[in-house]
Amino acid sequence: MRRKHWLIGSIALGMTFLPSFIQVHAEQSHSHSHADTHITTIDKFGQKVQIGDALPKAKTIGKEKFDQPAKIESNSTAVILNEKKQVVGQKQIKKNTASNKVTAAATRTVTVLVTADEEYRAAHPDWQTLTANIVENADNGFQRDHAIDFQVQAYGNWTSSGSNSSAILSDLDRDWNTGQYDFLVGFTKDANFDAGGIAYVYSSAPAGSAVSVNLDQGATATWHAAQHEFSHNFANSHDPQGSGIQCIMNYDYSYSVDFWDQAHDDQIELNEGWYGF
């Protein structure tokens, strides 16, 4: 039985732009073979959120580069924002469904602000195209199983800082969460980011954008991580390791499958109204 501690109390809930602080209470949640540490924080919008356990880095790195264009369900025009969040350009992202079998049209479109940190941008001069490909691979399972189409609608230059992955997640939330998009996803190559990915796990609709960060692990592993972290944003937690449950939320399968087990599939459908239109 999971116990929840509400140490912060209700005073924080109505406050916006509260400085982020983290309270930690580690506890064994179940008799599962892995220890679930529930770390909560107050996000930029004053909401109590759980920081998901950091996804381990991939054991085997898949393809370093994409060998075919991503399946892109719909056209979008993404604005390019400078560090003051002023629009300084645009990038057209064109529909591309030729390389994959046709699936049903999306019934829900969700918007994404993509940011890349200074280390990632230095490593990938083509980071806008690369990260669009990552997001567009990460959303194929959402499209196939939930008719949700993620659209990249903005890009930002993030300067990441923090001593570990959860601090870097909070840094992205503080620096770039404008609440104008459904999802705020960061891509990082910061040496202090000690995980494959990390995300806020919301228990109700986020007041701002839902935040996640993924490490640069090449094309294949990074899009798997991104799909896993987006799933946390819908309140999905983890399947117990060693359970054999085939699900992207099980660390044993996070980098090898692109679907959810029934429980996590149901949870996404329960919460999909948090995002999009």
Q: Which residues bind Ca ion (CB under 5 A)?
A: 71, 73, 136, 139-140, 149-150, 160, 190
Is 55 a binding residue for Zn ion by CB under 5 A? The answer is yes
The least CB distance from residue 249 to Zn ion, in Å, is 4
Is 239 a binding residue for Zn ion by CB under 5 A? The answer is yes
Q: Binders of Zn ion among 123-152, rule CB under 5 A?
A: none
In whole angstroms, what is the distance from residue 172 CA to residue 181 CA?
14
Pick one of 111, 264, 268, 275: the residue that binds Zn ion (CB under 5 A): 264
Which residue is it, tokens 């499958």? 257
Phi, psi of 47 (to 5 degrees): -95, 140
Is 247 a binding residue for Zn ion by CB under 5 A? The answer is yes
Is 249 a binding residue for Zn ion by CB under 5 A? The answer is yes
The least CB distance from residue 6 to Zn ion, in Å, is 23
The least CB distance from residue 143 to Ca ion, in Å, is 6
- Give the total of residues touching Zn ion (CB under 5 A): 7
The least CB distance from residue 25 to Zn ion, in Å, is 19
Stretch that binds Zn ion, among 4-12, 103-111, 202-210, 244-252 (CB under 5 A): 244-252
In whole angstroms, what is the distance from residue 176 CA to residue 184 CA?
8
Please say whether the beta carbons of 91 and 80 come within 8 A.
yes
Instruction: State how far the alpha carbon of 125 is from the alpha carbons of 85, 93, 105, 217, in Å.
Output: 20, 17, 33, 16
Please say whether the beta carbons of 130 and 217 come within 8 A.
no
CA dihedral 45, 55, 263, 172 (to 10 degrees): 20
The least CB distance from residue 247 to Zn ion, in Å, is 3
- Tell me which residue of 251, 249, 168 sits closest to 212, measured CA to CA: 168
Q: Of 42 and 211, which has the nearer Cβ to Ca ion? A: 211
249 binds, among Zn ion, Ca ion, none (CB under 5 to 8 A by kind): Zn ion
The least CB distance from residue 52 to Zn ion, in Å, is 4
Phi, psi of 108 (to 5 degrees): -145, 135
> Residue 266's Cα: distance from chain center in Å?
19
Contacts of residue 104, Cβ cutoff 8 Å, sequence gap at least 6: 147
Is 200 a binding residue for Zn ion by CB under 5 A? The answer is no
Q: Write down the H helix ranges in the chain.
A: 118-123, 127-138, 140-146, 165-176, 218-233, 262-271
Q: Of 127 and 142, which has the nearer Cβ to Zn ion? A: 142
Pick one of 38, 49, 52, 206: the residue that binds Zn ion (CB under 5 A): 52
150 binds, among Zn ion, Ca ion, none (CB under 5 to 8 A by kind): Ca ion
